[in-house]
Amino acid sequence: MFSMPRHISLSIVALAATLGLSSLVGVSSSQAAPVVSTATARNLPPLTFQNLALRSFSNVPISGRHVSTLLPPTHVDEFNVVGLTWTGEMADSTQLQVKIREAGKWTSWNTLTFTSEHGPDGDTREAAKVLNGTDPLLALASDAISVRAITNSSALPKDMHLVITGSQPTSEDQMMMNAVNQAATFPSYADSPQGARVLRPNIVTRAQWMGSYASTYETSAYRDEDPEMGTGIIAGFVHHTVTTNSYAKSGGRDAAYQMRSLFLFFVRGRHYKDMGYSFLVDKYGTIYEGRSGCPVPNGTNADIIAACDGPTMPAIGAHTAGMNRNTFAISAIGGYHLVRPHSAMVNSIAKLMAWRIAPYGLDPQVKTVIPMYSDPKRYSQFKNGQFAYKYTISGHRDVGRTVCPGKYLYPYMSSIRSKIAALLVPTIKHASVNPLALLPTDTSPVHIAADVPAHSTWSVSVISVSTEVELERYSGVTQETAGTISEDWNHLDTSDPQVTDKLLDAGAYRIVISETVNGQEQPAVTSLVYVGTVPDAVTNIINSPLFDDTHPTSRVSKATWVSWDAVTNSTPVTYKYWLWSASTNKWSAWQWTRTETQVGLRGLKLNNRYKIQVLATNAHGDSEPLEYEFSVTQ
């Protein structure tokens, strides 16, 4: 169990600072900053929660504004998430700033953003409990902090507190990250009513980023016991966390402990029922499950928990004040008012949103009606009971009084909508033909598979490339949901009905998967299967040196041509070669001539000896190389 944090007074710190006793004041957990932590049976590093009461230690007028020191440089237990909370209203003109000792070095002042637009709907029980506060600042491992406020009048709200949370990477994190996605348990795709089948993106689940800490934190003491649900999804919003962009890529290991710290900040520091956002995406494109859509395990609901696919549930979040019901939100981890997003992040946002809206048949490129349920503090652009007419997929700034998701991410919204729309087109997806190369004596079938949309009429044709004659045809119809094509082509010669077991001759065969969806023909998918053998070795290599002897130099000024006879036992065939020089005693890299049976060698030295090896290759493999030695002389 966790003990409740004590709200502390830092008067002793103020006195020390006033007397000039130390520029860095130590705050021990027993004296001033109680650390709430839990270590599991596996002796994992504890999660830490520190809550420091703030007050104005000094007030210095600068350029018509007041700079108030709320906390002098102070040593604390290691943390990686920081934010402030308070009671009452904070003037919009106030700047709240922290300076932290991160990885052994002090940073410059970081301005914390604060807005209740990132929060629950005003008429909910959750809203009544949530503390006013800043968005969290995500940092590297830090162990000291200073806080100041810059105001117009030096007036600040009551009960200001510094909330800092910490989690460390564990040996368990990497193991959990290696098992990303629940595809083995839950469907690996989502079908739209229009017939599209959208692949479920890899999602780092709560179970993965929480790990063994779940026994403590996935409980009613920390999050909503039975999450409140909407009736479906009508829209999605893109946010950013306004945190640091300086986090590392490590297979998700770093983000796992950062997610734990963020969770603790929201539920203990700001008194949310859970994470505010539905999902979070880091700059490398890794997706993390945010607010849970599943009930808390209580010892009697194991079957319910096992069957609950949280990311698909319409859990009501706390992300877009007044518009959380029947919407979802993805937050980009970082501050995109400062930097441009990586393409990997943009692509992951699009893939996740396409998968999330597919079952509801939503069009990301049209505007829809989004109700404003409750926003008594008017953080939204819309009044209670009004309707916003916005794109199905919008940025937070489209409905709120905010610049979120940042001036550098927001311009990507049109591209994100286009990418989502492309993923929602009811086309043939995940087509595969295997194997693509067969020996003439191989009796194993060629397996043809693909996902085809709902309401489609599909066909698979096998066509001889040499004669353009259709040799085999399969067809079918899908109904209300998308379906999967699974056919085996035995590559038998059916030209003589009296012979039923003769295999087709060597050659190339085209596999064409076609479909018509709701009467509209969609692009076909084509693959080539080659029946043949490994090509014979090339023969009869000759060279024909050509050079300009009117200006003799140390290098041949024109090409020395090397040619060989074409291989005819197996088609199609391409050729490659490499060259050895006596002057360097080294072989070059392999070079391709494609289907040409000759190559012009340039830049060769006069009076030097060379070797060339040429081989033929196709889908079945490489021939033995043939070596030819020659010299370049005048």
Q: Are 40 and 210 within 8 A, CB to CB?
A: no
Q: Which of 565, 562, 559 is nearest to 578 (CA)?
A: 562
Pairing mode, strands 393-395 and 235-240: parallel
Q: Could you report the per-residue pLDDT of 197-206, keeping only the tens digit for each?
A: 899 999 988 9
Q: What is the CATH number of domain 539-632?
A: 2.60.40.10
For 454, the 3-state DSSP assignment is coil
Q: Could you report the per-residue pLDDT of 485-535, keeping only the tens digit for each?
A: 999 999 998 888 888 888 998 888 999 999 988 788 888 999 999 999 999
Lowest mean pLDDT among 313-327, 419-433, 471-485: 471-485
Q: Could you report the per-residue pLDDT of 231-274, keeping only the tens digit for each?
A: 999 999 999 987 666 666 655 566 778 889 999 999 999 999 99
**H or E element in which residue 356 lies:** helix 343-357
Residue 341 to residue 349: CA distance in whole angstroms: 11
Q: Are 359 and 347 within 8 A, CB to CB?
A: no
- Report DSSP letters for 300-348, one per residue: S-HHHHHH--GGGS-B--SSSTT--TTEEEEEESS-TTTSPPPHHHHHH
Supply the pLDDT for residue 627: 95
Residue 629 to residue 542: CA distance in whole angstroms: 10
Q: Could you report the per-residue pLDDT of 587-629, keeping only the tens digit for each?
A: 999 999 988 999 989 888 888 899 999 999 998 899 999 999 9
Is the model's pLDDT at 343 over the cut of 90? yes
Residue 206 to residue 187: CA distance in whole angstroms: 18
SS3 letters for 182-217?
A: CCCCCCCEEECCCCCEEECCCEECHHHHHHHHHHHH
**H or E element in which residue 543 lies:** strand 539-545
SS3 letters for 110-176?
A: EEECCCCCCCCCCCCHHHHHCCEECCCEEEEEEEEEEEEEEECCCCCCEEEEEEEEECCCCHHHHHH
Q: From the centroid of its chain, how far is CA 20?
A: 49
Supply the pLDDT for residue 473: 94
- CB contact set of 519 (below 8 Å; sequence gap of 6+): none
pLDDT-derived band at 634, boundaries 50, 70, 90: low
Same fold, 429-531 and 539-632: yes
Lowest mean pLDDT among 209-213, 236-240, 291-295, 340-344: 209-213
Exposed/middle/buried for residue 312 (C-beta within 10 Å: 0-12, 13-18, 19+) = middle
Q: Could you report the per-residue pLDDT of 465-486, keeping only the tens digit for each?
A: 989 999 999 999 887 777 889 9
How many Cβ atoms from other residues are within 10 Å of residue 598's Cβ?
Answer: 15
pLDDT-derived band at 25, boundaries 50, 70, 90: very low
Is the model's pLDDT at 7 over the cut of 50? no
Is the model's pLDDT at 13 over the cut of 50? no
Supply the pLDDT for residue 116: 65
Q: Could you report the per-residue pLDDT of 345-391, keeping only the tens digit for each?
A: 999 999 999 999 999 999 999 999 999 887 666 667 887 778 989 99
| Encoded amino acid at 49, one letter | F
Burial code (b: 16+ CB inside 10 Å, e: under 16) for 316-335 equals bbbbbbbbbbbbbbbbbbbb
Is the model's pLDDT at 395 over the cut of 70? yes
Q: Which residue has the tokens 């060989």?
A: 564
| Encoded amino acid at 198, one letter | V
CATH topology of domain 11-166: Jelly Rolls (2.60.120)
Structure tokens at 47: 């999660």
SS3 letters for 457-472?
A: EEEEEEEECCCCCEEE
Q: Could you report the per-residue pLDDT of 91-147, keeping only the tens digit for each?
A: 888 999 999 998 889 999 988 888 766 778 777 788 888 999 998 888 888 999 999
Is the model's pLDDT at 24 over the cut of 80? no
Share of the chain above pLDDT 90, in %: 48
Q: Which of 145, 80, 149 is nearest to 114 (CA)?
A: 149
- For 429-531, the fitting CATH number among 2.60.40.2550, 3.90.1150.10, 2.60.40.1180, 3.40.50.720 is 2.60.40.2550
Supply the pLDDT for residue 230: 93
Q: Which of 168, 199, 113, 188 is nearest to 420 (CA)?
A: 199
Q: Which of 13, 42, 57, 75 is nearest to 170 (CA)?
A: 42
Structure tokens at 220: 């009613």
Supply the pLDDT for residue 58: 80
Burial code (b: 16+ CB inside 10 Å, e: under 16) for 94-126 equals bebbbbbbbeeeebeebebbbbbbbbbbbebeb
Q: Could you report the per-residue pLDDT of 142-186, keeping only the tens digit for each?
A: 999 999 999 988 789 989 999 999 998 887 777 766 665 444 468
**Relative orientation angle of helices 413-423 and 343-357, to the nearest 10 degrees:** 50
Supply the pLDDT for residue 3: 29
Residue 152 to residue 277: CA distance in whole angstroms: 33
Q: Are 143 and 78 within 8 A, CB to CB?
A: yes
How many Cβ atoms from other residues are within 10 Å of residue 64's Cβ?
Answer: 6
Q: Are 404 and 319 within 8 A, CB to CB?
A: no
In degrees, to the nearest 5, what angle opens at C-alpha 134 toward C-alphas 130 and 135?
Answer: 95
Mean pLDDT of 82-90: 92
How many Cβ atoms from other residues are within 10 Å of residue 471's Cβ?
Answer: 18
Supply the pLDDT for residue 6: 31
Mean pLDDT of 222-232: 91
Is the model's pLDDT at 19 over the cut of 50? no
- CB contact set of 301 (below 8 Å; sequence gap of 6+): 295
Mean pLDDT of 14-34: 36
Question: To the nearest whole number, what is the mean pLDDT of the chain?
Answer: 84
- Report DSSP letters for 391-450, one per residue: ESEEEGGGTBSS-TT-TTTGGGHHHHHHHHHHHTS---EEEEEE-SEE-TT--PPEEEEE
Q: Where are the domains of the chain?
A: 11-166, 429-531, 539-632
**Beta partners for residue 288, in sequence order:** 204, 280
Is the model's pLDDT at 557 over the cut of 70? no
Supply the pLDDT for residue 232: 95
Top-confidence residue, 216 or 232: 232
Supply the pLDDT for residue 278: 96
Supply the pLDDT for residue 245: 64
What is the rounded (10 degree) CA torsion for 220, 225, 228, 232? 120
Q: Which of 62, 150, 60, 51 is nearest to 99 (CA)?
A: 150
Residue 575 to residue 559: CA distance in whole angstroms: 19
Residue 614 to residue 593: CA distance in whole angstroms: 10
Supply the pLDDT for residue 462: 95
Sign of the torsion angle spanned by Cα atoms 20, 21, 22, 28: negative
C-beta pairs of 111-116 under 8 Å, 24+ apart in sequence: 112/83, 112/84, 112/137, 113/242, 114/84, 114/90, 115/379, 115/400, 115/401, 115/402, 116/321, 116/377, 116/379
Burial code (b: 16+ CB inside 10 Å, e: under 16) for 507-544 equals bbbbbebbbebeeeebeebebebbbbbbbeebeebebe
